[in-house]
Structure 1
Amino acid sequence: MKIGDICSYASKSAIKAGEAVDGAEYMFFTSSSDENKRYSDYQIDGEGIIMGTGGNATLHYYSGKFAVSTDCVVLQPDKNVECKYLYYFFKANMKVLEAGFKGAGLKHTNKNYINDIEINVIPNIEEQKETIALFDKLQKIIDGRQAELKELDELIKARFVEMFGDPIANPMGWSTERLESACKIIVDCPHSTPNYTTENTGYMCIRTSIVKKNHILWDEIEYIFEEEFNKRIQRKQPEKGDVIYTREGAILGIAAIIDRECNVALGQRSMLLSPDTEKCTSEFLSYAMNCQSFLDNALRGQSGSASPHINVGDIKAFEMIIPPIEMQREFSAFTKQVDKSKAVVQAAHVITRNSHSRRKQKCRILNF
């Protein structure tokens, strides 16, 4: 059967995403994956599956009074299908939803595509409820792990502020230097699209989508051939301890440390900073560049006006606080100690997520 056979849609919203009201009473969902917006009135009172229709595939489930923006659709299954069961079906098949986004520029999906998605088997209501209870329990564990990781990240950020203050306001009066003098070299990425391969060639390339604050998602790395690799490292081959910084696009102004020895090259829309370890440590540089005040200033550039991207020249000329290297090394040691705790939590997180995936298969959630 198809989704269109078992679902109806709530009336289309006329509320724009930018009309969210801080601190208002009702949940407000947009095409973003965030669930932190509010609105002053509600459109729907009950259960619903909320899907974003513009940009990237996003998915939410909510039960209660809520509102959505105009770039969303709200699915409401019929009485033979538990709403949350269908939500877990979609969550297990996000790639199917992503395939529906078409068009040049900002991609969009539509109801016709969603309606044509097929489900081979839907169990009876009691089995659906059992499946929901199981996945709710697993999701609670996953959410707990993610909260632990967030707390550890906040601990490091708090330690940075305690030791160094804001890197732009510089309340502690540290001496400053241009970033180009605090680094051995700062280079831009090649201005060409890498030719990726599914083969593990041993030569990796970093897309900006896997660059997260202070770390890289190495499990999602992609590969290129040796010839492509050699072309992309002509300005500099990234090394352990270098910092990658995203400079344009949807993922803008994020710094992460290359924390291992490997054959890796930059993809697009990024730059590479190699810190002079006698002046600044990788950890200090990465956390400083991830401060919101740093990004705000980097976007203004030398002209003082807003810019949709960050110029390499502006980063080179950026005045960075340079506290005593001994203090920076103390901070680096602290981050590495906390990272050990994060590694334990992440290992448990992976085990839980793998269990979640196996249960989806066992409970027929993956029946597409």
Structure 2
Amino acid sequence: MTIHFLQNIFEKSINGEWGNEDSGNGEATAVIRTSNFLNSGRLNLDNIVCRDIDKNKNSDKILRTGDIIIEKSGGSPNQPVGRVVYFDVTDQDYFTNNFTSILRVKPGYNSKYIFYLMKYLYDTKKVLKFQNQTTGIINLKLTDYLNKTKVNIETIENQNTIVDILDRLEYQIINRNKQLSELSNLVKSRFNEMFGDIFDNPQSKLEDHTELNPNKKELLNFNGNVSFLPMSNVSENGKIDLSINRNIDDVRKGFTFFKDNDVIVAKITPCFENGKGAPVFGLLNGVGFGSTEFHVLRPKNTVNTVWLYHVTMLSKFRLEGERKMTGSGGQRRITKDFINNFKLNIPPLSLQNEFADFVAQVDKSQFACQKAIKLWRNSLKSSII
């Protein structure tokens, strides 16, 4: 094992190239942007752009297998600039934009090993002291980063062995993430298979089967600390974090009350851009208080709470909710009237319960996948260290 500065591992860093707008003559080349970066270090090329770039003039900037692309402008308060991705795409020529640079590994090193090393430096926040923020944009002082960062380098034989181990771990993680996605799609397919179009010629209103924003009279039964749920603790996919506690005397008034098996619907959406977007939802497993920006739906005895939650997640409800929002800008809201008057068909409770049992089995499989992914991610980090 030997110690090197990063600058000694790479050829001179190569700036990205943006070129000109596609003229439509069929000669445009694909350009990778930081929006194509995944935090796993892989590329997502679904939304690739094409630009007119002179390949002869910029031949050294055409990406090669084994190149490492580093983000040098971007980032956010929660995500430092300096992410890296590994380039191994061979279907066509690619450039990378001018918010990035290409790090081309010198001969004698395994480029994938160096990529894993660079990703470790990013994940352990070694890039933070090389950030420079101007006019709201966070920049990476790349030259300083490469010149001042020392790393331990294994022999080429050990590099190859380590890459083989890490690649196999990463492959397992990718497969399990794919399985998670397939399980989520399975639930959607099962819902459609069992209930069809519940919005076709609807016969019921939600207010007939749920209690909206239940009365807080049950508060008399509680003392001490209870869960408190701000909107920031509900993700767009419905995951809820109930880790915040407050004393009940501080939140008896002015907050939404919820308990086990209630469904929440955000009146506004944390991820709005210019006031546009669909509301977020969640299924509660606990007792406590929430932001006044939530509506709480409590199922009556004709509705299974898991079934109700999946109804609120359907595009029909989400899109109608967005369309019926009132107000302007980032403060547009879903009203109580929209929820109460939302029409749908209610299937027999026995079928709803059967669907909920199916979801519970899928949840177990998803939990097993998530547990395996967490284990392998920890193994990946440990192996890199």
TM-score (norm 2): 0.68
Q: Identify which of 171, 196, 202 aligns with 1:174.
A: 202
Q: Which amino acid aligns with 2:186?
A: L
Matched, 1:235 2:255: yes
Give the whole-Å Cα distance in 2 for the aligned partners of 1:183 and 1:116. Answer: 63
Give the whole-Å Cα distance in 1 for the aligned partners of 2:109 and 2:50. Answer: 31
Give the whole-Å Cα distance in 1 for the aligned partners of 2:21 and 2:365. Answer: 38
Give the whole-Å Cα distance in 2 for the aligned partners of 1:307 and 1:38. Answer: 30
Report deviation, 1:141: 0.8
Residue matched to 1:110: 140
SS of 1:256 mapped into structure 2: strand
Which protein has the larger Cα radius of gyration, Structure 1 or Structure 2? 2
Q: Identify which of 271, 285, 305 aligns with 1:250.
A: 271
Residue matched to 2:170: 139
Give the whole-Å Cα distance in 1 for the aligned partners of 2:328 and 2:69. Answer: 33
Q: Identify which of 116, 128, 131 aligns with 1:88.
A: 116
Farther-moved stretch of structure 1 (228-237 vs 156-165)? 228-237
Q: 1:50-69 counterparts in 2 under 5 A?
A: 50-52=69-71, 53-56=73-76, 57=79, 58-64=83-89, 65-69=93-97
Q: 1:179-190 counterparts in 2 under 5 A?
A: 182-186=209-213
Q: Which amino acid aligns with 1:184?
A: E
Q: Is the 8 A contact 2:204 2:343 kept in 1?
A: yes
Distance 1:166 1:119, change over 3 A: farther
Report deviation, 1:120: 3.5
SS of 1:340 mapped into structure 2: helix
Give the whole-Å Cα distance in 1 for the aligned partners of 2:22 and 2:239. Answer: 31
Matched, 1:127 2:153: no
Residue matched to 2:67: 48
SS of 2:94 mapped into structure 1: strand
Farther-moved stretch of structure 1 (24-33 vs 5-14)? 24-33
Q: Which amino acid aligns with 1:89?
A: L
Q: Which amino acid aligns with 1:37?
A: N
Question: For the aligned residues, what is the CA RMSD?
Answer: 4.2
Residue matched to 1:365: none
Structure 1 portions without partners, runs of 5+: 188-200, 362-368
Q: Identify which of 29, 33, 38 aligns with 2:48.
A: 38
Q: Identify which of 320, 341, 346 aligns with 2:365.
A: 341
Q: Identify which of 286, 291, 297 aligns with 2:320.
A: 297
Distance 1:72 1:347, change over 3 A: same
Residue matched to 1:364: none
TM-score (norm 1): 0.71
Give the whole-Å Cα distance in 1 for the aligned partners of 2:209 and 2:136. Answer: 39
Residue matched to 1:352: 376
Length, aligned pairs only: 332
Report deviation, 1:139: 0.5
Give the whole-Å Cα distance in 2 for the aligned partners of 1:133 and 1:62. Answer: 17
Q: Is the 8 A contact 2:31 2:97 kept in 1?
A: no
Structure 2 portions without partners, runs of 5+: 39-43, 54-60, 215-224
Q: Is the 8 A contact 2:132 2:141 kept in 1?
A: no
